[in-house]
Chains A and B, each alone.
Chain A
Amino acid sequence: MIMNDKPLIHTSNKAELNRIKEKFIEIFFRLNGLFAAILILLIFFFLIREALNVFMLINPFEFISINLKSEAVYEWYPTSDPARYSIVPLLIGSFLTAVPATIISTFFGVVLGVYLSEIASTGVREFLKPIIEVFAGIPTVVVGFFMLVVAATLIQDTINPPSRLNAFLASLGLSIIVIPIIASLTDEALKSIPNDIRMAAYSLGASKWQTISKVIFPTALSGVSASVILGFGRAIGETMIVLMASGNAAIITVDIFSSVRTISATIAAEMGEVSVNSAHYFSLFFIGLILFAVTLLMNLLAELFLNKMKKRFHLY
């Protein structure tokens, strides 16, 4: 008989050591997770704090207009004397580039998304989908470069707008990156519809177009809306394309062919030369916060639409 002097259940130091090691590893991962979360919260708090500092130096109403010689002036000239901080021309500039870009991109992006999801054969889809995703990842500075060097001349020769660089040119440039985004998200929204619904429509005798226009598209409308909203959020936050193609003149206009200046381009152009902790410095943080709030609102809205769609499909 073999005598084993070791105990049957082994509770050595090694097990104890293992448990401590496990604990340390867990704490290590937790620290990383919490650090990431704190970093993110820090960004929000820091932006808000810096932005609100501006009100110690500037009257809030000055962000709308300033009275010079008993006349309301809506201008953004932080370096002039007295400094003018009206954000009205910047807001107009941002919307005058982002809204047309969204309209153009919605049409082409949704059409392309419908094609990818409903019409293209599997082979074509597998080929095109990665290509379109790659388009969405083109560096924006390259798009800005293309608009400035090639498209600007083209537009000048054909339409001949009053200024060579204008809001229209910028919105065309924005479309180059927003179309792939909307197309890709629309495709995903349409693909998320169960195939049973398509089959039901076909079995009732509907043609392909009838199925798409009367059944699939209306069902996925919230998802498509979400993709358009996200596209708009991307367009309004985009910097390099508008910085290079919009002409950067801070004027109040509704003419799409005039030069405009957006919020993002203003931050990009002025942050490098501003003196720290001046009213100008804080005001740039303030318009940054506005931009942040707008994009945040868009993301929340898109989330809402997507949830609506998801909820609908729990019914099936």
Chain B
Amino acid sequence: MKNAAEILKPNHTGEFKKNFTGNIPILGIRIISYTVVLLLASVLMYIFANGIKVINWEFLLSAPRNNMTEGGIGPAVFGTLAVIFLMIVITVPLGIFAAVYINEYIKDRWLARIITISINTLAGVPSIVIGLFGLGFFVLFVGKNLDEVFNTGMLLGKPAMLWASATLGVLVLPLIIVTTVEALKSVPDIQRYAAISLGSTRWEMIKTIVLPQARSGILTGIILSISRAAGETAPLLFLGCAFFLPDLPVTYLDLGLFAIPMINPAEQFMYLSYHIFVLTTQSTNPTLTKPLQYGTATVLVFLTLLLNMTAIIYRIKFRKNLEGLRGY
């Protein structure tokens, strides 16, 4: 029979086993994790290191020259900004209003459920399938029929900036709605009751209590959707992205005395992400354009990184705000 001292004596084999099975796998997980993060980061670093050399103001603003082997990405930057601007105009109000309806007005839980499920489903649809819808519905159905109604020939029934923006809008709509609903949900109900009990109407309550507090959360969603749209390529392949355009898609709104330049949404456009694609796969001389490819990729990655970082900072700020509100 063992005495107490023997029982209490450290069991070396057990200790070793525990240490061995304890530390080695943890160490392994650590090493693998660091390696993966470093590998992923090195992909970006490699692109940055090669791209930063060609980036200057001239590269960002000038047009491609010499059969796209020289010059800059000015028209692509312009096209990207124009498409995203149109997309924001089309989608952001719709998304935010829809989210307000879902979170603040719906009484029928069944209807809320259906809408939420369909939004979640849409969020999982591959972007190329959304592109199919954009071409088939916006261009060939809506555009063609508008042309027939207004007798405008082939103005709208062809792939163009307007339809590309609308399609990207459909693509980011779930993102905007979901983030906005989350932002609205995070506003404590107590404050809603307080506002109502002080005699404000539902809209006054939403306008003065709910929306101001949900602002950074909503902004996070908008920024994320811009970043998503800027990085998207697949649906734009057949929605009016141009290989090269000599002129910017700009039209002049004639007001008699002077003309206001504005984006022409019925034109084709150049797009940063598509520009990378054509430079690498359809260029006449892929080796000669390599610096341009790296430069364009760097600009695009930098743009999306910047947007995502801003979104993350806003989210942190938003959470802090709420913590202040709730008192913990």
- A residues near B, CB below 8 A? 18, 21-22, 25-26, 28-30, 32-33, 35-37, 39-44, 46-47, 50, 108, 111-112, 114-116, 119-120, 128, 130-135, 137-146, 148-150, 176, 179-180, 183, 207-210, 213, 233, 236-240, 243-244, 264, 267-268, 271-272, 276, 284-285, 288, 291-292, 295-296, 298-299
Asked whether, in the complex, the Cβ of B276 is within 8 Å of the Cβ of A43, the reply is no
User: Residue B264 at the A interface, CB < 8 A?
Assistant: no
Do residues B203 and A21 form an inter-chain contact, with CB atoms below 8 A? yes
For B297, the closest partner residue in chain A by CB is A142
Do B29 and A111 touch (CB < 8 A)?
Answer: yes
8 pairs of A and B residues whose beta carbons are closest in the complex: A237-B126, A139-B231, A33-B101, A32-B97, A239-B234, A207-B22, A115-B33, A36-B98
Chain A positions within 8 Å of B46 at CB level: 146, 150
**Max chain A Cβ within 10 angstroms of own Cβ: one of B106, B126, B276, B280:** B126
B273 CB-CB contact with A under 8 Å: yes
Nearest A-chain residue to B134, judged by Cβ: A43
**Once the chains bind, are B126 and A264 in contact (CB under 8 Å)?**
yes
Q: What A residues does B216 contact at CB under 8 A?
A: none
Interface 0/1 of B224-258, CB less than 8 Å to A: 00011011111001100000000000000000000
User: Is B198 close to A, CB under 8 A?
Assistant: no
Assess whether A43 is in contact with B170, with CB atoms less than 8 Å apart: yes
Residues A22 and B170 in contact in the complex (CB < 8 Å), given A36-B95, A43-B125, A271-B135: no
**From B43, B104, B170, contact of A39 by CB (8 A):** B170
Q: Which residues of B contact A176 (CB under 8 A)?
A: 40, 43
Q: Which chain B positions have C-beta within 8 A of A296?
A: 121, 124-125
Query: In the complex, what's the smallest C-beta–C-beta distance from B179 to chain A, in angstroms?
Result: 14
Q: Are B203 and A134 in contact (CB under 8 A)?
A: no
Q: Indicate if the CB atoms of A264 and B136 lie closer than 8 Å.
A: no
Given contacts A21-B203, A137-B227, is CB(A237)–CB(B280) below 8 Å? no
Of the stretches B57-65, B112-120, B188-196, B317-325, the one at the interface is B112-120
B118 touching A29, Cβ below 8 Å: no
In the complex, 5 of the A-B residue pairs with CB atoms within 8 angstroms, ordered by the A residue number, are A30-B101, A36-B115, A43-B130, A141-B276, A210-B18
CA distance A122 to B159 in the complex (A): 49
Contacts of B237 in A (CB 8 A): 268, 271-272
A208 and B98 form a contact (CB under 8 A): no
List the B side residues contacting A143 at CB < 8 Å.
43
A59 to chain B, nearest CB (A): 23
Q: Does B54 contact A (CB under 8 A)?
A: no
Docked pose: A33 CA to B29 CA in angstroms: 46
Q: Decide if A112 touches B33 in the complex (CB within 8 Å).
A: yes
- B53 at the A interface (CB under 8 A): no
Residues of B within 8 A of A28 (CB): 97
Bound-complex Cα distance A36 to B177 (A): 9
